[in-house]
């Protein structure tokens, strides 16, 4: 039997997690004091990795278990009946219920498939909203890529989803956030939406105007990404393998990849050898300057700067600042601000490891948003 990990004093809300991936969003909520009671993920290797990472720590297992299913299973017949029982159990115990999830984003990503609502992944955003409207949690969190609101056809779809939520009694707030704001060494923008159900204990704590409410998204954050980007960061420099460069810049050191590589001890991490070889050989990438992230692919990070968005699909390759290779899984997890103890199993294929880490919400971002929700309500 697992012991409960000592956690912050947080919400007593019971969290049902969807599209959990390797559990980076969940980890933030758990460490902010929430109890995850149900976990759903479509891909078994992602779920296996979720469980593996937590077995090394004293986190409770979700009382309703881990489920490898398409989310639509819970909107049909037996799946709906089973899930409704879970909800009923919590209602009988007078517990507050929250749903959290970020539907797969390739169909909305600017650099992805861009199929929108017609794509297989795009349809899952509607399924998640249908789950919310059908089972009516007190609270929900929805997360996705900025393309969902920055591209006109995707924005129209997003507005339709919001109208459905409002018609079903939800008060909403949304914000485009950058992970730099939270102390993550990465320029990564994501749209977050929070909803609370009218008539609930949570809804009585908000001031509602046109089915929306103000939420302190940008208050008390460690950084302002707009200000950070205007700082005098180092320019691209000639690449030299295993070179040494002292930190001599008037910028936040805690937002640099090298600082996080050291913090997470990436060269001794269990996933340090999880690295893709560069097609075409080492010579191909030795001419790329340290800090040259201007190209679509083969971007070489600068050790004393933050990383571009950690997205490793669609032929996007990120190179180590001072080694003639791509980034390792351990280094990618550091860029996503995951704790040093977090690791992935050796029996999962390399492409899946990069995908599950690259798709996740940066840990510090998830943690702070969860804390904000606790403090607000």
Q: Round to whole Å and give the CA distance between 17 and 50.
A: 12
Q: Is the pLDDT of residue 74 over 80?
A: yes
pLDDT tens, position by position, 101-115: 999 866 566 555 566
Report how far residue 150's alpha carbon sits from residue 232's, in angstroms, rounded to the nearest whole number: 28
User: Which residue segments constitute the domains of the chain, with CATH numbers given?
Assistant: 14-224+362-376 (3.40.50.150)
Q: Which residue has the tokens 């704790």?
A: 339
pLDDT for res 196:
98
Catalytic residue at 105? yes
Neighbours of 112 (CB within 10 A): 18
Measured between alpha carbons, how far is 334 from 362 in angstroms, rounded to an integer?
10
Percent of the chain with pLDDT over 90: 81
Calpha distance 148→146 (Å, rounded): 5
The percentage of residues in the chain with a pLDDT greater than 70, rounded to a whole number, is 92
Tell me if 103 sits within 8 A of 109, measured CB to CB.
no
266-295 pLDDT, tens digit each: 999 999 999 999 887 788 899 999 999 998
pLDDT category at 58 given cuts 50, 70, 90 is: confident
Q: Is the pLDDT of residue 195 over 70?
A: yes
For residue 326, the 8-state DSSP code is: B
Q: Cα-flanking dihedrals φ and ψ of residue 375, to 5°?
A: -70, -30
Q: List, for residues 231-255, the tens digit of each pLDDT value.
A: 999 999 999 999 999 999 999 999 9
* pLDDT on residue 153: 84
Catalytic residue among 51, 105, 208, 349: 105
Strands 35-40 and 66-67: parallel
Segment 305-334 shows an average pLDDT of: 90
Lowest mean pLDDT among 19-33, 114-128, 142-156, 321-335: 114-128
């Amino acid at each position: 039997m697992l012991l409960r990990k000592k956690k912050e004093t947080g919400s007593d809300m019971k969290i049902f997690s969807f599209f959990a991936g390797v559990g980076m969003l969940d980890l933030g909520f758990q460490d902010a004091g929430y109890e995850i009671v149900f976990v759903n993920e479509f891909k078994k290797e992602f779920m296996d990795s979720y469980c593996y990472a937590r077995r090394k720590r004293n986190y409770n297992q979700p009382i309703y278990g881990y489920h490898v299913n398409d989310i639509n299973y819970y909107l049909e017949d037996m799946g709906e009946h089973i899930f409704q029982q879970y909800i009923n159990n919590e209602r009988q115990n007078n517990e507050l219920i929250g749903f959290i999830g970020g539907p797969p984003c390739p169909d909305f990503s600017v650099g992805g498939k861009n199929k929108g609502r017609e794509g297989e992944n795009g349809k899952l955003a509607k399924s998640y909203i249908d789950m919310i409207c059908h089972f009516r949690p007190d609270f929900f969190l929805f997360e996705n890529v900025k393309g969902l609101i920055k591209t006109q056809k995707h924005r129209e779809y997003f507005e339709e989803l919001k109208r459905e939520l409002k018609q079903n009694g939800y008060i909403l707030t949304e914000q485009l956030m950058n992970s730099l704001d939270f102390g993550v060494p990465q320029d990564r923008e994501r749209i977050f939406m929070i909803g609370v159900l009218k008539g609930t204990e949570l809804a009585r704590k908000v001031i509602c105007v046109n089915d929306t409410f103000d939420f302190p998204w940008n208050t008390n954050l460690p950084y302002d990404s707009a200000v950070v980007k205007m700082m005098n960061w180092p320019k691209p420099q000639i690449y030299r393998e295993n070179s040494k460069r002292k930190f001599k810049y008037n910028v936040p050191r805690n937002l640099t990849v090298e600082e996080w590589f050291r913090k997470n001890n990436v060269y001794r991490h269990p996933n340090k050898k999880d690295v893709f070889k560069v097609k075409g050989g080492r010579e191909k990438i030795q001419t790329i300057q340290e800090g040259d992230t201007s190209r679509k692919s083969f971007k070489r990070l600068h050790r004393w700067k933050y990383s571009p968005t950690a997205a490793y699909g669609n032929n996007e390759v990120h190179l180590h600042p001072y080694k003639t290779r791509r980034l390792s899984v351990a280094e990618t997890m550091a860029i996503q601000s995951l704790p040093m103890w977090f690791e992935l199993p050796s029996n999962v294929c390399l492409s899946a490891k990069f995908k599950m880490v690259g798709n996740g919400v940066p840990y510090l971002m998830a943690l702070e948003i969860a804390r904000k929700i606790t403090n607000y309500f």
